[in-house]
Amino acid sequence: MNAVLFDFSGTLFRIESTESWLRAVLRETGIALPEPELAEAARALESAGAMPGGARPERLPAEFAEMWAVRDQSAELHRAAFTGVSRQVPLPDPALHDALYDRHMMPTAWTPYPDAEFVLRTLRERGIAVGVVSNIGWDLRPVFREHGLDAYVDAYVLSYEHGMQKPDPRLFAVACEALGVDPKDVLMVGDERRSDGGAAALGCGVHFVDHRPVTERPDALRPVLDLVGQG
């Protein structure tokens, strides 16, 4: 293997909990909610799938279905889709829905998995190129910089910048071209079987990890080092 492509959310980084997300925005806006109401609102937002990088909607309203399917193809669609489902949940101030969306793009809302730095650094030491391929509607580069991982990434391929999203093989092809590698010499690592599995159509190897809380997944990325070594 000459290169490894990584997904972002649920693979290298994990978003904060829905309650932490809501609590941070309420604190920033100076709005107070009694604890039972805050907990209930957080549960409702999670059920709605309102937090990007969080749980999927339990029941997606029909009016959002078409937009939801292509939400990662532009910044505008991404914001509209997530704030749209968020607005299904009553909050004390309607402006909170946009504030919540803005919060999820902050580096402080994200935590790298415990073994992410070690694995990325080891790949760099071995001369293995690294790319990040993400279905996303905003620039995640500041997240990597803030957490000290940007130095280990050679290329970022973000769906909204290319108007296409995984599992479209063309997005993985863009990443391989950016790294100057043949797809058959590339390993794609992600947590979504359908989306990240699209790399297999190009001939890339594919390895999956589970999208779990950071505290529950201390070393799931380490097998990547063995897989690359085995080719």
Quote the percentage of the chain above a pLDDT of 90.
Answer: 98
71: three-class secondary structure by DSSP: helix
Query: 161 and 73 in contact (C-beta within 8 Å)?
Result: no
pLDDT tens sequence across 102-145: 999 999 999 999 999 999 999 999 999 999 999 999 999 999 99
**Band of the pLDDT at 1, cuts 50, 70, 90?**
confident
Residue 184 reports pLDDT greater than 80 = yes
Q: Strand 186-190 vs strand 3-6: parallel, antiparallel, or unpaired?
A: parallel
Model-level pTM? Answer: 0.96
Which residues does 34 contact at the CB level (< 8 Å), separation at least 6? none
Name the DSSP class of 187. Answer: E
Please report the DSSP string for 98-137 in residue order: HHHHHHHTSGGGEEE-TTHHHHHHHHHHTT-EEEEEE--S
Domain boundaries, the chain: 3-14+110-230, 15-108
Q: What is the mean pLDDT of the chain?
A: 97
Contact 31, 99 (CB under 8 A): no
Task: List pLDDT tens digits, range 69-100.
Answer: 999 999 999 999 999 999 999 999 999 999 99
Q: Which two tokens stand for residue 28?
A: 């920033």
Residue 230 above 70 pLDDT? Answer: no
Averaged over 15-26, what is the pLDDT? 98
Confidence of residue 23 (pLDDT cuts 50, 70, 90): very high
Identify the band that residue 231 occupies on the pLDDT scale cut at 50, 70 and 90: low
CB neighbours of 224 closer than 8 A, spacing ≥ 6? 4, 119, 123, 187, 189, 207
pLDDT exceeds 90 at position 171: yes
CATH topology of domain 3-14+110-230: Rossmann fold (3.40.50)
Q: Mind giving me the DSSP string for 26-41?
A: HHHHT----HHHHHHH
Phi, psi of 143 (to 5 degrees): -65, -45
For the chain, give percent helix, strand, coil, nearest 5: 50, 15, 35
Q: Is the pLDDT of residue 22 over 80?
A: yes
pLDDT tier at 176 (50, 70, 90 boundaries)?
Answer: very high
pLDDT confidence of residue 191: 98
Average pLDDT value for residue range 152-158: 98
Run of H or E residues at 67: helix 65-69
> What angle do helix axes 35-48 and 18-29 make, rounded to 10 degrees?
120
Please tell me the predicted confidence (pLDDT) of residue 229: 82
Beta strand spans in the chain (E): 3-6, 13-15, 110-112, 129-134, 155-158, 186-190, 205-208
* Residue range 58-70: mean pLDDT, rounded: 96
**For residues 64-73, b (16+ Cβ closer than 10 Å) or e, as one string?**
beeebeebbb
